[in-house]
A and B are shown apart, each in its own frame.
Chain A
């Protein structure tokens, strides 16, 4: 799950992570009032999840999703140009993203740009801090070309972040005196935020030293552990479904694991590993998967129906492959769910079904008796070959 910049700012404020002043606004008037509050050195930023905002273009023709402003009135005027408009950046795709909020913030004069991130590292099974003097750059590039510019500092799972680690990191970043102390405090507070909110990644890029000597987190990217959302109500409430693929939003309402892709063969599978492997075998057989969809090990007829409707709602889909290894999952439940969905929305596309396992005979019989035009497959390879052939015909 991703969050907006203004939401990251709210989390920073809650945990005393030093960052420039900033407020979210939904109308030009709110933006003007926010600017009055901040005073000097104003910047306005369109709030969308995609990057590349500064160089983006609104569909209205207005240039740039980030602007320095000379006055609160100028902020209001820029907000007027942005709010309710669609911003296209190199990350949004040509369809762009609707801007419904802007952040009004204090722009700072930067003396140095640094990099600071905390990531839950699966190899060492603990949080690892990465700090670099090469701020504002792609950290993977830095790691590749100049690894000596990065310090990796693991944090003990039970002890947590220690004061000496704050001093060590500050020294590595070339900070001394009061700046080192301020940075160490920022790092501690950021680590507390990371743990308290069940983050899997917090990346501050850049962390800046201003010309006035302040150490501030200028921009941040957050990833959260989806498994922990049940106890992170505040974080869960930050989800912005207008930023997500509507197919994925619909699937999440039925607790289905769905990820939309660009191909034309939809698949419906039980189990995440088998679902991935089914996508792979479609590709291997010469087709392109339209989605990842895991209905889980104990899906109900209603979930299967919902899943089937979601894949049929994708206009790119030209054929469907259902692959079920019903170890525990009842194959007949799958059959009934598919039939119920087809009754509701109709089916004009080729459908290949491979059922195996629990109650398989009954499931096949239910499908056969339904009168649906189903191509049945004996095994996974057969199923993939059949659906690829069917859509080529």
Chain B
């Protein structure tokens, strides 16, 4: 099962002819993911890597290939437009990898997406998502975005996180413990994003393949608290949590646009307390995320 995407999901990539988009399109193809189309305005009719057709518009790509998911590798000034184009073309899932979109643009995009209730946005400023395959080094899965495929292994742990490399750290620990992942979702490090921790927790809760959940958060905002409050009464599955940024100084933006403690709100301590209050086991260090999950599962 997994959530959102699986081996059969057909994806298209907006910005496939850029160096970053192209590189990761190739890695997804190598992983066995069904990358069925690319979109770059003005380059319609060409082929990517000699096999993936490129279209001028997302509508054309969806109509001709049946792609249901778009991945966006478009530079920040054009990314908001790219998200809305994908939504308008009927994509069910739009994953925006782009980092550096102005928050005012995202505010307007998010408000406009209410007109497309069937479309879910993940990101922006996210590593994407992976549903691992069942082949060697998890080959044959659905890799959307920029995560390294080979660290995964198909299994029953769902992972949701605001950070890329911290997700890989957790994935690697789970794989090395001999377990595996159902789906790993990077929701992104921006203050306004499409999908929240809570949205993903609900999906994992309803997914029969997912047996346990890792939720990774960081300073800034209150989405982790919101997810924890829901989980307390509604989540049937064990959850392990980790919150990054206990040592971050207030008022400073820690790399991610959304990772900032402002006006005393959004501290790691407050988030950890909210998680614990909801019965979620919290890893004290990033090195113990996997072990903490095992503890939560045996509780």
Interface residues on A, range: 35 or more
Chain A hits for B165, CB < 8 A: 269-271, 273-274, 297, 325, 327
Is residue B166 within 8 Å, beta carbon to beta carbon, of the partner chain? yes
Q: Does A228 make an interface contact (CB < 8 A)? A: yes
- Closest residue of chain B to A121 (Cβ to Cβ) is B191
**B18 touches A (CB below 8 Å):** no
State the Cβ distance, A34 to closest chain B Cβ, in Å. Answer: 33
Q: Inside 8 A of A280's CB, which chain B residues have their CB?
A: 244-247, 268, 285-286
Question: Is A283 a contact partner of B247 (Cβ separation < 8 A)?
Answer: yes
Q: Does B213 contact A (CB under 8 A)?
A: no
Task: Say which residue of A122, A126, A274, A292 sits within 8 Å of B221 (CB atoms).
Answer: A122
- Residue ID in chain A nearest B104 by CB atoms: A198
Assess whether A113 is interfacial by the CB under 8 Å rule. no
- Determine if A314 is an interface residue (Cβ-Cβ < 8 Å): no
Instruction: Point out the residue from A230, A259, A277 that lies within 8 Å of B244, measured CB to CB.
Output: A277
**Is B45 positioned at the interface, with any CB of A under 8 Å from its CB?**
no
Among B28-36, B198-206, B255-263, the one that faces the other chain is: B255-263
Which of B2-10, B52-60, B65-73, B144-152 binds A? B144-152
User: Which residue on chain A has the smallest CB distance to residue B166?
Assistant: A273
- Are B246 and A157 in contact, CB atoms less than 8 angstroms apart? no
Q: Are A225 and B104 in contact (CB under 8 A)?
A: yes
A276 and B248 contact, Cβ closer than 8 Å, known pairs A198-B102, A356-B172, A380-B286: yes
CB A160 to nearest CB in B, in angstroms, measures 10
With the chains together, A272 CA to B110 CA distance in Å? 24
Residues in B whose Cβ lies below 8 Å from that of A281: 285-287
| A-binding segment of B133-141, B156-164, B232-240, B273-281 | B156-164
Contact, CB under 8 Å: B285 / A358? no
Residue of A nearest to B263 (CB): A140
Closest Cβ neighbor of A356 among chain B residues = B172
Residues of A within 8 A of B111 (CB): 125-126, 156-158
B76 touches A279 (CB 8 A): no
Pick from B102, B161, B288: contact of A273, CB below 8 A: B161
B120 within 8 A of A: no
> B203-245: which residues lie under 8 A (CB-CB) from chain A?
216, 218-222, 242, 244-245
A272 adjacent to B287 (CB under 8 Å): no
Please state if A259 and B249 are interface contacts (CB–CB under 8 Å).
yes
B100 within 8 A of partner (CB) = yes
Contact with B along A270-307 (1 / 0, CB 8 A): 11111111111111100001001010011000000000
Determine whether A379 belongs to the interface, using a CB cutoff of 8 Å to chain B: yes
B169 at the interface (CB under 8 A from A): yes
Q: A11 to B98, alpha carbons, bound, how many Å?
A: 30
Residue of A228, A261, A282 touching B102 (CB-CB under 8 A): A228
Contact between chains at B248 and A279 (CB < 8 Å): yes
B254 within 8 A of A: yes
CB distance from B271 to the nearest CB of A (A): 12
Query: Given A140, A275, A380, which contacts B287 in the complex, CB threshold below 8 Å?
Result: A380
- A277–B255 Cα distance when bound, in Å, is 12
Q: Does A357 contact B (CB under 8 A)?
A: yes
* A226 to B102 Cα, complex, angstroms: 8
Nearest CB of chain A from residue B219's CB, rounded to whole Å: 7
Interface members, chain A 240-288 (any B CB < 8 Å): 257, 259, 261, 269-284
CB-CB under 8 A for A259 and B104, given A277-B166, A379-B287: no
Q: Is the CB of A358 within 8 A of B110?
A: no
The answer, yes or no, to whether B95 is at the interface (CB within 8 Å) is: no
**Any chain A CB within 8 A of the CB of B192?**
yes
Query: In this assembly, does A328 line the interface, its C-beta being within 8 Å of a C-beta of chain B?
Result: yes
Counting CB contacts under 8 A, is A107 at the interface?
A: no
Q: Is A381 an interface residue when CB atoms closer than 8 A count as contact?
A: yes
Task: Provide the B105-130 mask, 1 if CB < 8 A to any CB of A, else 0.
Answer: 00110111000000000000000000
User: Are the CB atoms of A120 and B107 closer together than 8 Å?
Assistant: yes
Would you call B255 and A120 a contact (CB within 8 A)?
Answer: no
Q: Which residues of A contact B255 (CB under 8 A)?
A: 257, 271-273, 275-276, 292, 294
The 9 sampled A-B contact pairs (Cβ below 8 Å) are A122-B220, A125-B107, A157-B108, A271-B166, A272-B189, A276-B219, A281-B286, A284-B284, A294-B255
Given contacts A271-B164, A277-B244, 15 further A-B pairs with CB under 8 A are A122-B220, A125-B192, A126-B107, A157-B111, A225-B104, A230-B77, A273-B167, A273-B244, A277-B166, A280-B286, A289-B247, A292-B254, A297-B165, A325-B169, A380-B285
Chain A contact residues, CB within 8 Å of chain B = 120, 122-123, 125-127, 140, 156-158, 195, 198, 200, 225-228, 230-231, 257, 259, 261, 269-284, 289, 292, 294, 297-298, 325, 327-328, 356-358, 379-381, 384
Chain B residues near A (Cβ < 8 Å): 20, 27, 76-77, 100-104, 107-108, 110-112, 146-148, 151, 161-169, 172, 189, 191-192, 216, 218-222, 242, 244-249, 252-259, 263-264, 268, 284-288
The 6 A-B pairs with the shortest beta carbon distances in the complex, nearest first, are A273-B163, A272-B255, A271-B165, A327-B148, A273-B166, A381-B287
